[in-house]
Amino acid sequence: MIIDSEDDVTPAVVKAMENAPDARLREIANSFVKHLHAFAKETRLTEREWEYGVGMLNRVGAFTTDTHNEGILLSDCLGLSTLVCLMNNGAGGSTETAAALLGPFWRMNSPKTANGGSIVRSPTPGPALFASLRVLDHNKKPLEGTEVDVWHASTTGMYENQDENQADHNLRGKFHTDADGRFSFRTVLPAGYPIPTTGPAGEIVLYQKRAPWRPAHLHFLIHKPGFKTLVTQVFVDGAKYLDCDVVFGVTTALVGDYKKHESGAPPAPDVKAPWHTLDYTFHVEPGDSGLPTPPIK
C-alpha cells in the first residue's frame, strides 16, 4: 500500500496484521496500533519527542537484567499493573480476596520453610512479627496443602537481591497450609521502602515530584491446582504512604490488622517487647492456577 498522507498509515498497519493466525493477538495488536497512532496525532508528536520516547524504551531494556526488571517497574509506576490486576481479579468485594500487583521482586524458588518457621535468614533490624494466615475456598472451607510464597523488603529499604548484606532469600519463604488451611511464620515488621529510581521508571516518578515510596507490606502468592492463583499484598495499617503508594497498589480491603504487643508473654524466648502479630484470612476461588513469569531469577 502506498502511503500518501498521515491518514493512510493506521489502516495500512492494521491491514498488515490481517494474516496473523491468532485472532486474540490480532485484536490486541490492532487496538494497540490504533491507540498509539491516535496518541501521536492527538499530541502532534514531534520527531525529537518520538526520538526521546524510543530512547526511553531502549533504556528500559538496557536496565533490565536477571536481578532487575525495569519493564515491570515502568508498568507499575504508570498504574498499568494495578489496572490489569483489578480488571482480572476481585477487588475484595466478592468471595475472592483482593489481588494486588506482583511487583518486580518475586523470585520463584524461595526456600521451603516449615510452618511456624522464620524467614529471617540473616541479621535484620526491626521488631519481631508473628504472622498467622489462613486460606479458605469459595465455600469458606480450609484449603489444605496450598503453596504460599511470602516475600518482603528489609527494614533497610531493600529486597535481599538488591542488597549484598542480606543472605540469599532473606525475608522470603515458601509455606504449605495445614489441614485447617493455616500457615504461620516469623519475620520482622515490614517498613516502607523507596522503589529503585536510577532507571527511566524512577526518572518519571522524580520528574512528577512524587515520593518514590511504597507503604510497608508483605507479599503473598497463593497457589493450589484447581484454584485461581492469588497474588496479593497485606499492608501495615497506619503506615506512611498508604494513600500515595508510588505504584498505586493499595486497596482498602488489603490493609491488615497488625497488632503491637507491649507486654505479656512473648511468643518466643528471644523476643523483647514490643513485638507484632498479624492474623489474616485469604479467600480463593476455583479457576486458573497458572503462575506468573518470575520478573527476576
What residue ranges bind ligand BEZ (CB under 6 A)? Answer: 73, 76, 101, 103-105, 195, 214, 247
Closest among 122, 109, 112, 97 to 222, alpha carbons compared: 97
Which lies closer to ligand BEZ via its Cβ, residue 105 or residue 282?
A: 105
Minimum distance from residue 1 beta carbon to ligand BEZ (Å): 42
Q: Within 13 Å of residue 282, how many CA atoms lie on the same side as its CB?
A: 33
Which lies closer to ligand BEZ via its Cβ, residue 73 or residue 136?
A: 73
> Per DSSP, what are the bridge partners of residue 172?
151
122-161 as b/e: b if 16+ CB within 10 A: eebeeebbbbebbbbbeeeebbeebbbbbbbbbbeebbbb
| For helices 70-77 and 47-63, angle between their N-to-C axes, nearest 10 degrees | 130
Compute and round to an integer the Cα radius of gyration of the chain.
22
Closest among 186, 187, 203 to 195, alpha carbons compared: 203
Minimum distance from residue 75 beta carbon to ligand BEZ (Å): 9
Which lies closer to ligand BEZ via its Cβ, residue 102 or residue 133?
A: 102
Minimum distance from residue 121 beta carbon to ligand BEZ (Å): 18
Phi-psi region of 291 (alpha: psi -120 to 50; beta: other; left: phi over 0): beta
Which lies closer to ligand BEZ via its Cβ, residue 243 or residue 262?
A: 243
Which lies closer to ligand BEZ via its Cβ, residue 214 or residue 283?
A: 214
Minimum distance from residue 58 beta carbon to ligand BEZ (Å): 21
Residue 127 grid coordinates: 521488631
Minimum distance from residue 71 beta carbon to ligand BEZ (Å): 11
Minimum distance from residue 271 beta carbon to ligand BEZ (Å): 26
Residue 36 grid coordinates: 498509539
Closest among 171, 180, 99, 175 to 134, alpha carbons compared: 180
Residue nearest to ligand BEZ (CB): 103
Which lies closer to ligand BEZ via its Cβ, residue 181 or residue 202?
A: 202
